[in-house]
Amino acid sequence: MELAEVWVLRLSHRIARDVRVTSHVALTARAFGARGMYFSGDFDENIIKTIRKITGLWGGEFEVQYVENPLRFAKEWKSSGEVIHLTMYGLPIKDVIGDIRKSIRRKLVVVGSKKVPHEMYLIADWNISITNQPHSEVSALAIFLHELFEGYELNLNFKNAKLKVIPQPRGKKIVKQS
């Protein structure tokens, strides 16, 4: 199955507070089939370097880029795609995921950090909730991508991988690819 083109926009990255979570948003996006991640807020070369290193070792073509004005970026995205904002205040995913899957347009999935500007709710084509309880943007992204791709993302083969995990009932086994 060919997966839809999906990018993630991580809002308001703060170097002093969000490095680990922003990295986990990127890792989750990559592992669950997104094409890349944009981030706004503080410019952080280390996020870009870390994810490039992971992609170099584990394969795939995942990209990370900085966006200075995320609201303008999301508005411009709408000329060729749709914007999906993950928020606990949105429509339940189970009620709308079928309609989102039917759309062939590329997707920008927006996840927050600090308080999301009200304008993002208006820009978004879809404001989606995974649950109406406080939770992590990492978990929301993973569940959204899993639902969008109907589980196909769990079997992705990452091209040009230098490392590969060999599943084991116990312990760890990683092999170097040639």
Domain locations in the chain as residue ranges: 6-176
**pTM score:** 0.95
Burial of 175 (0-12, 13-18, 19+ CB in 10 A): exposed
pLDDT in tens, 8-38: 999 999 999 999 999 999 999 999 999 999 9
Q: 2 or 57, which is more confident?
A: 57
Residue 104 · residue 4 · CB < 8 Å: yes
The CATH superfamily holding the domain 6-176 is SPOUT methyltransferase, trefoil knot domain (3.40.1280.10)
